[in-house]
């Protein structure tokens, strides 16, 4: 009996699959990917309210030291409760325009149960000046900072890719005009530009931050993508597509874009690091997140005065969290570039 | 005088009196300057320009105090602050039961050189004083200190009224109440006896100017200060650096003050008695908004005089005594009660929070009730302040430390009040107006990290009662401008005594002072009527009774909540000679000296 001989099936693994394999086989790439994934998990968890929703609750005494680091110098004495129930005061001859509601409310307030809140004397990561848990603040701050970095990097990358593609593909006056815009933006020192845009917006908030960073940060992506399109637009496969009747749009977005997408991806992760650092700087200088939120930058800002008083924990945990993340993303970016473009390895 | 409030917390002390944290460098690099005495000081917020008639903040006044001279001033050492002559040769002669004040000017007082004088020495005379006083009433100047003269001098208000109609103030024809007897004698006729007129004449903004200078620099008088004081403006980089040098035409004045019982007065007198004023050649003033920078500079020995920013007081003080690490270096601590208040106000003309309907009054009272002053004192001021609910602080005539506020921290009461007046919570847990509009409070602070702490306090307070918080960030000079234009919604403001009398504080809520110092923009006829009565009374139990009614009505109407008063802690380096913190004078640089042979650390 003879059985049909099954010829072994040859899959030709795609660019992305190969890149993923190369990335995973690289120890640095693997670990940095895991670290970044861990942070993203935190972002998602906080974003959906699974953890750290109550980060601004005051659970401990002011500047409660981290557990295990309690010393004579930083031990906090619990302050006496400051709740003074107000009694009637002399009105010096005036009649209260809010009577009788005022007296009723006062009677209610006097009889209302007021339990003195119980404050912890120590927390795993310590407490800030209002007695908020630095650990939870860190989670919330991580979410804000990474989220701002991610979304603004996305905005900047999309914008840069779109404009870069148009400039590189069409050339001529489109290229000239967009290059002009690029020139203007890059002629201004980056932080000055960011401050100028921040001043224009006038309003503080995470959305504003994202817009500021996104609108000022697309130039790097633009330059690289434009150069790639310049190269690709006269390649044979593009010409062939044109000959088969593909429209310009199709050639730009369907044919060329996948071939330059690895550059876009690397740029995205580089921007991510850059924007997180920019957010920290902006918040540190007071242009960043409003008081209703917290980010790495605002935590570092608070920590500058605390450190002088010997309250080091907020600075320490924020700096460590930020250093790990920024390093991991940078290493991951390197590994991705290696994985996506093996020729660079040589 | 308006002081940056945020700074009260952080650095208030620096702005008080001797402003700032200052630093004194005894030796600068360079051979030529080897023996030049330089006082380096820093101010906590940007200056607002050097035309005295237009300024009202403490930092600018500190500089003007050195450039311009008023008729009277306060004794350097005497406490409580005591009026003494400055431009006047002696204390004024007061006759007609306090209605006529006759001043005799010193002779040989010259303005500092300026090109307007074409090389001639220009002597200051009585007509200059009259011109200076008239300027306060000129509507074109919009002077924030007009209240010092408003309704006081015979014929001057009529002149101002005339100017409002014609658009032109007539400086040329004489005013009945301002009588120039001869170049050195001036007689002022008041409409009614005024017990504070002497204090008014001691204010730095009453510094005498020359008419030809003001006319020559019309429109830009703020950058051409020409006065008769010990110093003149040498260099001005806006919002960054100001340099003062000795006025070469300054008259011969000798340091002579009588020591009091205060500890340290003997040392001050021993160091300074008989020296010619001023001793220091140059005052170098920098704008340093962040308290930490100033604090670190002082620690490095680059700073000379430093009002300790409140948040750093644990590093300098131990149970209110100077810590030994500083004392061992020879650093000295001056600790005085600040004649100042920090008060929350709400703009009564604001469309969202203003108005006199019971519902709005209830809303404002609830906002004040939600603020935990004790927590602010503990966490932000580090214990260098105390709860003072009365508009007049300790050390000022009319103060009442035992006054009971009706707006003490009580979030339960605040919430109940809002419930009763129909500010119900929506689905998100935040309250809305009875008509369903969202309820948002816009709170204005400066741009430093200390201001962020004030923001946090307010955010926490509003969260307690379910009101949304929006922050508005402005630079200090912009805040002042916005206040005068009634564009602020809510703010923690500060006021330090110009002179040690309660009237200086109560005038902050007087209706006609809107667009000047009435930052709450409140116009309450009943209140104004009572206030006008207080003006006719000396410091007395009758006046105190009226002041208590005024203070209570401010709370009843939800106009203001006086929050805290505080201590001023000033550090000075061992090489500073003759320093004593003054509660009223905005700066005392001309009374100081530096020991150039003492190593200053740089």
pLDDT tens digits, B461-492 = 999 999 999 888 888 888 888 998 999 999 99
pLDDT at A284: 75
Q: What long-range pairs does A280-285 form, CB within 8 A, spacing at least 24?
A: A280/A145, A280/A322, A281/A191, A282/A194, A282/A198, A282/A209, A282/A212
Which segment, A325-334, B44-53, B126-135, B301-310, is predicted with the most confidence on average?
B126-135
CB < 8 Å to A115, chain B: none
Confidence of residue B25 (pLDDT cuts 50, 70, 90): very low
Q: Which of A56, A96, A104 sits opposite B556 (nearest CB)?
A: A96
Confidence of residue B69 (pLDDT cuts 50, 70, 90): very high
Cis bond before residue A296 (omega within 30° of 0): no
* CB within 8 Å: B448 and A292: no
CB < 8 Å to A54, chain B: none
Which chain A residue has the Cα nearest residue B414? A105
Which chain B residue has the Cα nearest residue A300? B449
Distance from CA of B568 to the nearest CA of A (A): 20
pLDDT at B172: 92
Counted domains in chain A: 1
Q: Which of A89, A112, A290 sits opposite B412 (nearest CB)?
A: A112
Q: What are the extents of the domains in chain B?
A: 340-566
pLDDT tens-digit series, residues B88-102: 999 999 988 889 999
- Is residue B530's pLDDT more than 90? yes
- Is residue B547's pLDDT more than 50? yes
Q: Which of B412, B463, B469 sits opposite A114 (nearest CB)?
A: B412
CB < 8 Å to A92, chain B: 545, 548-549, 552
Mutate to test the interface with B, among A292, A295, A297, A301 (most CBs of B within 10 A): A292
* CB within 8 Å: B460 and A85: no
* CB within 8 Å: B358 and A98: yes
Cβ atoms of B581 and B339 within 8 Å: the answer is: no
Paired with B553 in beta bridges are none
- Is residue B52's pLDDT more than 50? yes
Tell me, yes or no, if A101 comes closer than 8 A to chain B by beta carbon.
Answer: yes
Cβ atoms of B240 and B126 within 8 Å: the answer is: no
Does residue A278 fall inside a structural domain? Answer: yes
Residue for token pair 């979304």: A151
pLDDT tens-digit series, residues B131-174: 999 999 999 998 888 888 988 899 999 999 999 999 899 999 99
Q: Does domain B340-566 have CATH number 3.10.105.10?
A: yes
Tell me, yes or no, if A75 comes closer than 8 A to chain B by beta carbon.
Answer: no
Tokens of A185: 């933006």
pLDDT at B526: 93
Which chain B residue has the Cα nearest residue A304? B292
Residues of chain A with pLDDT under 50: 346
Residue for token pair 């270096």: B329
- 10 Å CB burial of residue A27 (0-12, 13-18, 19+) is exposed
Tell me, yes or no, if A100 comes closer than 8 A to chain B by beta carbon.
Answer: no
Does residue A135 fall inside a structural domain? Answer: yes
Q: How far is CA B578 from the centre of its chain?
A: 23
Does residue A80 fall inside a structural domain? Answer: no
Cβ atoms of B102 and B89 within 8 Å: the answer is: no
Q: How far is CA B519 from the centre of its chain?
A: 14
CB atoms within 10 A of CB B368: 27
Task: Output helix, strand, coil percentages for chain A, rounded to the nearest 5.
Answer: 65, 0, 35
B286 vs B39: CA distance, rounded Å: 11
Mutate to test the interface with B, among A60, A80, A109 (most CBs of B within 10 A): A109
Pairing of strands B38-43, B282-287: parallel
Higher-pLDDT residue of B147 and B226 is B226
Mutate to test the interface with A, among B292, B408, B463 (most CBs of A within 10 A): B408
pLDDT at B11: 30
| Average pLDDT value for residue range B584-589 | 92
The CATH number linked to A143 is 1.10.3720.10
Distance from CA of A276 to the nearest CA of B (A): 20
Helix (H) or strand (E) holding B72: strand B72-74
Cβ atoms of B373 and B563 within 8 Å: the answer is: yes
- 10 Å CB burial of residue B111 (0-12, 13-18, 19+) is buried
pLDDT at B599: 56
Which chain B residue has the Cα nearest residue A112? B412
pLDDT at B428: 87
- Is residue B27's pLDDT more than 60? no
Mutate to test the interface with B, among A89, A111, A119, A130 (most CBs of B within 10 A): A89
User: ipTM value of the model?
Assistant: 0.77
Tell me, yes or no, if A305 comes closer than 8 A to chain B by beta carbon.
Answer: yes
pLDDT at B431: 94
**Chains A, B: CB pairs < 8 Å:** 111
- Is residue B573's pLDDT more than 50? yes
Q: Which of A109, A129, A305 sits opposite B413 (nearest CB)?
A: A109
Mutate to test the interface with B, among A119, A305, A311 (most CBs of B within 10 A): A305
Q: Is B16 helix (H, G, I), strand (E, B) or coil?
A: coil
Cβ atoms of A201 and A208 within 8 Å: the answer is: yes
Q: Which of left, alpha, beta for A79 (phi over 0: left; psi -120 to 50: alpha)?
A: beta
* CB within 8 Å: B553 and A82: no
Q: In terms of residue numbers, what domain contains A42?
A: 15-63+124-345
Q: How far is CA A216 from the centre of its chain?
A: 16
Q: How far is CA B480 from the centre of its chain?
A: 12
Cβ atoms of B213 and B116 within 8 Å: the answer is: yes
Q: Which of A90, A290, A301 sits opposite B449 (nearest CB)?
A: A301
pLDDT at A320: 94
Confidence of residue B235 (pLDDT cuts 50, 70, 90): very high
């Amino acid at each position: 009996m003879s059985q049909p001989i099954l010829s072994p099936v040859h899959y030709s693994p795609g660019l992305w699959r190969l890149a993923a394999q190369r990335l995973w086989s690289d120890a640095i790439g693997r670990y940095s990917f895991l670290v970044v994934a861990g942070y993203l998990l935190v972002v998602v968890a906080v974003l959906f309210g699974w953890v750290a929703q109550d980060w601004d609750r005051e659970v401990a005494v002011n500047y409660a030291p981290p557990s295990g680091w309690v010393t004579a110098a930083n031990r906090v004495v619990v302050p006496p409760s400051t709740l003074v129930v107000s009694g009637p005061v002399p009105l010096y001859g005036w009649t209260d325009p809010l009577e009788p509601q005022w007296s009723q409310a006062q009677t209610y307030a006097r009889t209302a149960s007021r339990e003195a809140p119980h404050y912890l004397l120590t927390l795993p990561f310590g407490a800030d000046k209002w007695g908020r848990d630095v650990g939870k603040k860190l989670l919330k701050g991580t979410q804000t900072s990474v989220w701002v970095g991610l979304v603004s990097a996305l905005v900047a990358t999309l914008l840069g890719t779109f404009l870069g593609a148009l400039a590189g593909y069409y050339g001529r006056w489109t290229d000239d005009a967009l290059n002009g815009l690029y020139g203007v933006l890059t002629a201004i020192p980056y932080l000055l530009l960011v401050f100028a845009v921040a001043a224009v917006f006038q309003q503080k908030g995470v959305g504003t931050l994202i817009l500021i960073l996104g609108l000022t940060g697309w130039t790097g992506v633009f330059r690289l993508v434009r150069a790639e399109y310049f190269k690709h637009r006269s390649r044979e496969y593009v010409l062939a597509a044109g000959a088969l009747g593909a429209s310009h749009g199709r050639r730009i977005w369907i044919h060329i874009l996948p071939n330059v997408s690895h550059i876009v991806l690397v740029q995205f992760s580089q921007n991510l690091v850059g924007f997180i650092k920019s957010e920290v700087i902006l918040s540190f200088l007071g242009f960043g997140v409003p008081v209703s939120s917290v980010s790495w930058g605002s935590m570092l800002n608070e920590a500058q005065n605390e450190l002088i008083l010997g309250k080091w924990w907020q600075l320490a945990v924020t700096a460590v969290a930020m250093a790990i993340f920024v390093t991991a993303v940078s290493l991951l970016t390197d590994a991705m570039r290696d994985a996506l473009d093996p020729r660079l390895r040589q | 005088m308006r002081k940056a409030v945020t700074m009260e917390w952080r650095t208030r002390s620096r702005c008080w009196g001797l402003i700032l944290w200052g630093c004194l460098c005894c030796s600068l690099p360079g051979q030529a300057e080897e023996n030049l005495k330089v006082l380096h000081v820093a101010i906590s917020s940007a200056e607002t320009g050097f035309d005295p008639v237009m300024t009202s903040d403490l930092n600018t006044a500190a500089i003007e105090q050195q450039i311009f001279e008023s008729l009277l001033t306060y004794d350097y050492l005497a406490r409580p602050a005591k009026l003494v002559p400055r431009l006047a040769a002696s204390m004024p002669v007061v006759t007609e039961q306090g209605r006529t004040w006759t001043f005799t000017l010193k002779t040989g007082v010259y303005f500092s050189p300026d090109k307007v004088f074409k090389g001639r020495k220009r002597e200051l005379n009585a007509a200059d004083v009259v011109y200076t006083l008239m300027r306060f009433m000129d509507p074109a100047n919009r002077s924030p200190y007009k209240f010092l003269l408003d309704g006081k001098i015979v014929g001057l208000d009529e002149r101002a009224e005339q100017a409002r109609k014609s658009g032109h103030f007539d400086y040329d024809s004489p005013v009945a109440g301002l009588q120039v007897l001869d170049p050195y004698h001036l007689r002022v006729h008041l409409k009614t006896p005024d017990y504070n007129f002497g204090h008014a004449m001691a204010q730095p903004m009453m510094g005498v100017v020359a008419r030809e200078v003001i006319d020559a620099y019309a429109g830009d008088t703020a950058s051409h200060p020409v006065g008769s004081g010990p110093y003149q403006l040498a260099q001005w980089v806006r919002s960054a650096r100001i340099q003062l040098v000795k006025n070469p035409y300054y008259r011969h004045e000798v340091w002579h003050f009588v020591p009091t019982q205060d500890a340290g007065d003997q040392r001050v007198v021993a160091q300074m008695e008989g020296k010619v004023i001023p001793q220091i050649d140059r005052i170098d003033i920098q704008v340093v908004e962040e308290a930490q920078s100033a604090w670190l500079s002082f620690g490095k020995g680059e700073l000379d005089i430093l009002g300790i920013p409140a948040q750093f007081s644990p590093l300098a003080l131990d149970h209110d005594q100077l810590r030994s690490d500083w004392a061992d270096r020879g650093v000295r601590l001056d600790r005085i009660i600040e004649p100042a208040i920090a008060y929350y106000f709400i703009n009564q003309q604001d469309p969202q929070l203003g108005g006199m309907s019971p519902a709005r009054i209830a809303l404002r009272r609830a906002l004040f009730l939600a603020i935990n002053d004790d927590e602010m004192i503990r966490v932000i001021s580090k214990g260098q302040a105390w709860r003072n609910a009365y508009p007049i602080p300790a050390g000022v005539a009319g103060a009442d430390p035992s006054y009971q506020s009706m707006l003490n921290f009580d979030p339960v009461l605040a919430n109940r009040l809002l419930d009763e007046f129909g500010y119900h919570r929506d689905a998100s847990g935040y309250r809305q107006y009875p008509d369903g509009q969202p309820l948002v409070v816009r709170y204005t602070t400066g741009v430093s990290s200390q201001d962020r702490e004030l923001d946090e306090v307010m955010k926490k307070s509003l969260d307690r009662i379910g009101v949304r918080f929006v922050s508005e960030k402005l630079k200090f000079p912009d805040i002042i401008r916005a206040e005068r234009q009634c564009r602020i919604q809510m703010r923690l403001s500060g006021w330090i005594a110009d002179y040690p009398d309660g009237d200086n504080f109560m005038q902050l809520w007087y209706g006609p002072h809107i667009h000047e110092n009435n930052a709450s923009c409140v116009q309450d006829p009943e209140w104004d009527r009572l206030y006008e009565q207080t003006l006719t009374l000396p410091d007395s139990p009758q006046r105190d009774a009226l002041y208590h009614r005024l203070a209570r009505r401010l709370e009843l109407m939800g106009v203001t909540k006086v929050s805290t008063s505080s201590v001023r802690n000033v550090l000075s380096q061992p090489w500073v000679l003759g320093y004593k913190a003054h509660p009223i004078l905005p700066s005392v640089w001309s009374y100081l000296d530096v020991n150039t042979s003492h190593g200053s650390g740089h």
